[in-house]
Amino acid sequence: MTASTLGVGILGAGPVTQAIHLPTLARLTDVFHVVRVMDVDPAVAESVAGRVGAAWTTDVDELLADEEVQIVVICSPHQFHAEQVVAACRAGKRAILCEKPFAMTKAQAEEIAAVAAETRTPIIVGAMHTFDPGWLAAKQHWGDLITAAHTIRYSIVLPPNPRFEDFATEVATRPQWPAADRNDPDVAAGMIYGGIMGLAIHDLPLVRAFCPDFTDVEVLSCTLPYPAGYVVNLRVGQKDVQVSAVNSHSWEPEWTFEAIGDSSALRIDFSPSYVQAGSATAVIRRGPESEVYGPYAYNGYEGEWRFLAELARGTAEPLDVTELIHDLTFALEVADKSAAAVREATAAANEKVMA
């Protein structure tokens, strides 16, 4: 810590804070220092704060009132994001990083936009892949692919998080998920909604980037795989989109994004979350020729923190909050329609069994 480094306050000290943000900040000690950590569990707050020599609290207001906290990172449960972003703006902080989603309704997002404009507080949402150097390099070189791509594929095979968390840190506590009856239509719909808003949301901004008509969303089908995940076929404007994820203990994690046109295509392979394994690798193909970008030395989480520092110091232009709202409303629409499709399909399957 030095007088010239930026003071960080963290709301919510669960695995994402422990295994993602603190290890990332440990790589940027010349830029940031952690001032205060808040968690509703005092033991977790104290334990996590103690790792970085920060103060701890169980009170959001106490953290926001701390003048040494210049940047607030919000890693609390989703339902608290919007109110905490607004409160951080009102507290006069220099920049805010909110984990995705930054709100759960369009109305909340619009309130955030209004308050951010009023207080002139720059906000970024932790869609880390949008800050990944591999993605940013592809963006510079993909030419007319945004219009030329007709097919979008976004696929995840997700191993259990501890496989990577335990290489990144020593996790103090982990949330427990109760078993659920997936034959119940509401449970199945909830699993899909949670999957889209908790996992797919990471790269839905990338999907949206290739879908100029992103308000024209039709869910063609949605499947709930075992044990969890989603397989959603979509038409977004004129684009054919598939968004899929499966949780599996198998040994081949996958996190890919593809945009494919008649004569050019992009594929990005992202490195796993949690571990400091460098950036994504992007390949742009034009027939038999390929251009490869990356892997670069750091990942999207570090990219977002570097950008956050520039925002806090006034050396970068803030993101257009309208775009963040568009990202959110796109995600909400995909989640709502996918959940509805699975609810209906599950109910129909149950009726067939009863008959």
Partner 1 sequence: MTTRLTVSASSDADTEGRIGQAVAALPMSLHPGGKDADLVGLAGGAGWVDAAMAAIEAGARGVLVVDPSAADARALAERDVPVVLDGRWTYNPAVLDSAAAFSARNDAESLVEVRADVPVGSDLERVLLSQLALVRTAVAPLVQLSFDRWNARGWDARGTLESGARVALAAILTDALEPAASLRIIKPTDAVRLTVPDPATARPGHVVVSSPEGATLLVTKWESAHRVAWRTLHGLVTAGATGTDLAGFERDVELVRGARAAVSAA
Contact 245, 237 (CB under 8 A): no
Q: Kindly state whether residue 247 participates in binding partner 1, applying the rule CB under 8 A.
A: yes
Q: Kindly state whether residue 5 participates in binding partner 1, applying the rule CB under 8 A.
A: no
Contact 33, 5 (CB under 8 A): yes
Largest CA distance in the chain: 72
Write down the least CB distance from residue 344 to partner 1, Å.
15
Interactions with partner 1, residue window 218-237 (CB under 8 A): 220-221, 223, 225-227, 231, 233, 235
Pick between residue 104 and residue 345 the one whose CB is nearest to partner 1.
345
Among 79, 215, 263, 322, binds partner 1 (CB under 8 A): 263
Q: Kindly state whether residue 252 participates in binding partner 1, applying the rule CB under 8 A.
A: yes
Among 240, 269, 310, 336, binds partner 1 (CB under 8 A): 240
Write down the least CB distance from residue 167 to partner 1, Å.
16
Write down the least CB distance from residue 16 to partner 1, Å.
24
Among 58, 244, 276, 350, binds partner 1 (CB under 8 A): 244
Write down the least CB distance from residue 47 to partner 1, Å.
29
Q: Which x/- pattern over 277-296 shows residues binding partner 1 (rule: CB under 8 A)? A: --------xxx---------
Write down the least CB distance from residue 228 to partner 1, Å.
9
Pick between residue 130 and residue 247 the one whose CB is nearest to partner 1.
247
Q: Kindly state whether residue 24 participates in binding partner 1, applying the rule CB under 8 A.
A: no
Write down the least CB distance from residue 335 to partner 1, Å.
18
Options 88-96, 187-195, 246-254, 271-279: segment touching partner 1 (CB under 8 A):
246-254
Size of the site for partner 1 (CB under 8 A): 31
Q: Kindly state whether residue 262 participates in binding partner 1, applying the rule CB under 8 A.
A: yes
Options 27-35, 129-137, 166-174, 261-269: segment touching partner 1 (CB under 8 A):
261-269
Query: From CA 219, how far away is CA 223, in angstroms rounded?
Result: 11
Pick between residue 141 and residue 286 the one whose CB is nearest to partner 1.
286
Specify the amino acid at residue 177: W
Among 151, 161, 256, 276, binds partner 1 (CB under 8 A): 151
Among 264, 273, 279, 299, binds partner 1 (CB under 8 A): 264
Residue with tokens 């968690």: 39
Contact 336, 194 (CB under 8 A): no
3-state DSSP of the chain: CCCCCEEEEEECCCHHHHHHHHHHHHCCCCCEEEEEEECCCHHHHHHHHHHCCCEEECCHHHHHHCCCCCEEEECCCHHHHHHHHHHHHHCCCCEEEECCCCCCCHHHHHHHHHHHHHHCCCEEECCHHHHCHHHHHHHHHCCCHHHHEEEEEEEEEECCCHHHHHHHCCCCCCCCCCCCCCCCHHHHHHHHHHHHHHCHHHCHHHHHHCCCCCCCEEEEEEECCCCCEEEEEEEECCEEEEEEEEECCCCCCEEEEEEEECCCEEEEECCCCCCCCCCCEEEEEECCEEEEECCCCCCHHHHHHHHHHHHHCCCCCCCCHHHHHHHHHHHHHHHHHHHHHHHHHHHHHHHHHHC
Options 23-31, 80-88, 250-258, 269-277: segment touching partner 1 (CB under 8 A):
250-258
Q: Contact residues for partner 1 (CB under 8 A)?
A: 150-151, 157, 220-221, 223, 225-227, 231, 233, 235, 240, 242, 244, 246-252, 260-265, 285-287
